[in-house]
């Protein structure tokens, strides 16, 4: 096996090629689950050897254990005692397997606003962040050419509101993102699922061409391929009830069925013919499975004996030598930088990320400006001014749910890439946080500029910028909360419902609809002091109602002013902003302390987001 400083002549700089004759060996793999009636084996004592440049197809009826076997092989499920995996005779553990392999799942998790070339390029840059750009471009072009993606290389993947490339092309892009990172082992789970026969053949032919050229080991679960698609594989394994019913070369299937006494019919493919015997879901068909497996085990097949041998070869290189990556801190920095670049590009192009939200914030600012227009300085409009602050905090925070759809797309890409070892949770969280800040701040500025002066809030520059900063912190906290919910509930409707409920809950205990002093003691001493809306509302109210503002009391009873709020200056028939704040029990707050609490809430939400992503990516 070549190190990062020793390449095959056909490999691009930085490429890790398989040593000719490398063999991946799986011995006695089993996987069981507990049921009400006992233990059920989903995989039962499966062994197989695959050589570099070979493609193994895993086939069988629904429930045969194909995807489970693939997960066990890739260490996505825990090996049971007695099972082992070796590469060139050396034991292979989960950490090393994740370093040298890539797993392509059934669903295409891609950022729809990126082009094909950008998607593949970012995958390579994340895997090898220090690889020179020229060599990145060479490698990407090679993979795109091999997978037949040059004609659509500069087309966008596609979003729900913008049509992009076809389903077959998306499958090839997903495969390209995996193969561009120089994997030694490529796992494909139903890679042709949902494709027509032509697209399925093209996808497998492209993968076969590149894998054979670079000596990759390819293991793919596949469902009812056409004869042309099946021909792209070197070997095939048929499974039924988790047991091996056939393991051999694809081109030997016809002769196997001839010996079995059930030759393949003229207009049938060998794989379809095998399913006639292996599908045990219907009455009377289990007998055919047993006969099929017994006949296979009785054959002196070289594949049967090979699967029990333990090949030897060159030992596995140390991980750092294998990939030549930077030190951990440098890798963290560069992964964060590349992810930040990609995230910013996604947000700039994706209307569902911030385009719609900025439009909503602008529209809400215009609505406030035209409804609460020129409030003036009468004591009768003090409550209207308070409503402006509450509405700004509560409803702009509520609109953070608009970011859930784009985050769910990012989340799906994150899980695909992190499980394949491109980066860890921390750089994803850092990049998301760093890129969210300027976009959220721009949204806050747009809203505030439209409505602040039209409403007639405090005219000073300092109160304006304090209003912006406090509102931004509230929106940032609401955004972080929505992302935590979306990371735990990756279903849009569910995430939307829970996020909406939580925002409504914070509105209820914040102290606006019912004074904080009137809240039941449980709510007052618990969630009231956890409420980010409370701190932002109090900060914004202090910023725009204090600082020398006075309000004229318009109601006179028996020749005496009757102000809406208790006044410290009744002789002048006015009520000061400080009087209002004191009545609301928020005249004593310290800006730095309240800002510190808001920032702490944001940090706690971001830590919760990290844990949610980390836990569910395991």
Q: What is the mean pLDDT of residues 592-604?
A: 96
Q: Is the pLDDT of residue 117 over 90?
A: yes
**pLDDT value, residue 308:** 53
**pLDDT value, residue 604:** 97
Q: Which of 406, 399, 389 is nearest to 361 (CA)?
A: 399
Q: What is the mean pLDDT of residues 357-366?
A: 92
Q: What is the CATH number of domain 23-298?
A: 3.40.50.300
Compute the distance between CA of residue 316 and CA of residue 322 in angstroms, rounded to an integer.
9
pLDDT tens per residue across span 185-204: 999 988 887 677 887 888 88
Sign of CA pseudo-dihedral 591, 597, 601, 602: positive
Phi, psi of 297 (to 5 degrees): -65, -20
SS3 category, 237: strand
Q: What is the mean pLDDT of residues 501-507?
A: 93
Q: Is the pLDDT of residue 505 over 50?
A: yes
* Residue 434 CB burial class (10 angstroms; 0-12, 13-18, ≥19): middle
Q: What is the mean pLDDT of residues 323-334?
A: 75
> Which residue did the predictor score with more confidence, 361 or 302?
361
Q: Residue 3 — very low, low, confident or very high, per pLDDT cuts 50/70/90?
A: very low
Q: Which two tokens stand for residue 21?
A: 């004759």
Q: Which two tokens stand for residue 573?
A: 């028939």
Compute the distance between CA of residue 511 and CA of residue 585 in angstroms, rounded to an integer.
10
Is the Cβ–Cβ distance between 609 and 481 less than 8 Å?
A: no
The pTM assigned to this predicted structure is 0.85
pLDDT tens per residue across span 25-77: 999 999 998 888 888 889 989 999 999 989 999 998 888 889 999 999 999 88
**pLDDT value, residue 328:** 81
Compute the distance between CA of residue 405 and CA of residue 487 in angstroms, rounded to an integer.
11
Phi, psi of 395 (to 5 degrees): -85, -30
Q: Residue 129 — very low, low, confident or very high, per pLDDT cuts 50/70/90?
A: confident
**pLDDT value, residue 323:** 42
Q: Which of 356, 324, 343 is nearest to 7 (CA)?
A: 324
DSSP state of 422: S
**pLDDT value, residue 475:** 96
| Half-sphere exposure at residue 72, Cβ-oriented, CA atoms within 13 angstroms | 28
pLDDT tens per residue across span 223-279: 888 888 898 999 999 998 889 999 999 988 888 888 888 888 877 788 888 888 887
DSSP state of 100: H
Q: Residue 286 — very low, low, confident or very high, per pLDDT cuts 50/70/90?
A: low
DSSP 4-27: TT---TTSPTT--PPPTT-EEEEE
pLDDT tens per residue across span 416-461: 999 888 899 999 999 999 999 999 999 999 999 999 999 988 888 8
> What order of strands is seen across the sheet that includes strand 101-104?
101-104, 185-189, 217-221, 55-59, 235-240, 243-249
Is the Cβ–Cβ distance between 274 and 240 less than 8 Å?
A: no
Q: Residue 9 — very low, low, confident or very high, per pLDDT cuts 50/70/90?
A: very low
């Amino acid at each position: 096996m070549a190190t990062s400083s020793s390449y095959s002549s056909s490999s691009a700089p930085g490429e890790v090629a398989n040593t000719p004759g490398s063999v991946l060996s799986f011995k006695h793999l089993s996987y069981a689950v507990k049921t009400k009636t006992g233990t059920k084996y989903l995989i039962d004592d499966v062994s197989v050897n695959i050589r570099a440049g070979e493609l193994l197809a895993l086939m069988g009826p629904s429930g045969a254990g194909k995807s489970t076997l693939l997960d066990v092989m890739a260490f996505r499920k825990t090996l049971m005692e007695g099972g082992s995996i070796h590469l060139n005779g050396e034991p292979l553990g989960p950490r090393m397997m994740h370093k040298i392999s890539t797993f392509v799942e059934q669903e295409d998790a891609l950022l729809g606003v990126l082009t094909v070339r950008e998607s593949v390029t970012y995958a390579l840059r994340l895997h090898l962040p220090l690889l020179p750009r020229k060599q990145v471009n060479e490698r990407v072009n090679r993979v795109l050419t091999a997978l037949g993606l040059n004609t659509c290389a500069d087309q966008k993947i596609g979003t729900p509101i913008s049509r992009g490339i076809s389903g077959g092309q998306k499958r090839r892009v997903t495969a390209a993102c995996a193969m561009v990172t120089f994997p030694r082992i490529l796992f494909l789970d139903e890679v042709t699922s949902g494709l027509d026969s032509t697209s399925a053949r093209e996808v497998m032919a492209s993968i076969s061409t590149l894998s054979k050229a670079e000596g990759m080991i390819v293991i793919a679960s596949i469902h009812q391929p056409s004869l042309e698609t099946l021909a792209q594989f070197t070997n095939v394994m048929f499974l039924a009830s988790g047991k091996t019913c056939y393991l051999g070369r694809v081109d030997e299937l016809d002769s196997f069925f001839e010996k079995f006494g059930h030759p393949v019919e003229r207009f049938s493919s060998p794989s379809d013919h095998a399913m006639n015997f292996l599908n045990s879901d219907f009455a009377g068909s289990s007998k055919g499975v047993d006969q099929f497996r017994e006949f296979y085990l009785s054959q002196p097949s070289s594949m049967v004996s090979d699967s029990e041998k333990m090949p030897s070869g060159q030992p596995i290189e140390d991980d750092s030598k294998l990939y030549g990556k930077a030190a951990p801190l440098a890798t963290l920095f560069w992964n964060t930088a590349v992810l930040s670049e990609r995230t910013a590009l996604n947000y700039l192009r994706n209307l569902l990320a911030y385009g719609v939200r900025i439009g909503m914030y602008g529209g809400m600012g215009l609505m406030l400006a035209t409804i609460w227009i020129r409030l003036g300085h009468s004591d009768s409009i003090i409550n209207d001014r308070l409503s402006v602050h509450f509405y700004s905090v509560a409803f702009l925070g509520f609109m953070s749910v608009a970011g859930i759809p784009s985050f769910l797309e990012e989340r799906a890409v994150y899980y695909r890439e992190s499980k394949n070892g491109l980066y860890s949770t921390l750089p994803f969280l850092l990049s998301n946080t760093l890129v969210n800040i300027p976009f959220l701040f721009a949204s806050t500025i747009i809203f505030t500029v439209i409505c602040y002066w039209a409403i007639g809030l405090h005219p000073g520059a300092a109160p304006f910028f304090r209003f912006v900063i406090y509102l931004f912190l509230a929106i940032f906290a609401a955004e972080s909360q929505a992302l935590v919910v979306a990371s735990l509930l990756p279903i849009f409707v569910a995430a939307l419902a829970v996020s909406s409920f939580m925002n409504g809950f914070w509105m209820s205990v914040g102290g606006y609809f019912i004074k904080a002093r009137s809240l039941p003691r449980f709510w007052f001493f618990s969630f009231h002091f956890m409420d980010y809306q409370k701190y932002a509302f109090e900060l914004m109210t202090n910023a725009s109602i204090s600082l020398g503002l006075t309000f004229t009391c318009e109601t006179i009873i028996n020749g005496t002013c009757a102000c809406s709020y208790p006044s410290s200056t009744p002789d002048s028939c006015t009520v000061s902003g400080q009087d209002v704040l004191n009545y609301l029990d928020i005249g004593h707050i310290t800006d730095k302390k309240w800002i510190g609490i808001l920032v702490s809430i944001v940090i706690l939400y971001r830590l919760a987001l990290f844990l949610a992503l980390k836990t569910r990516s395991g």
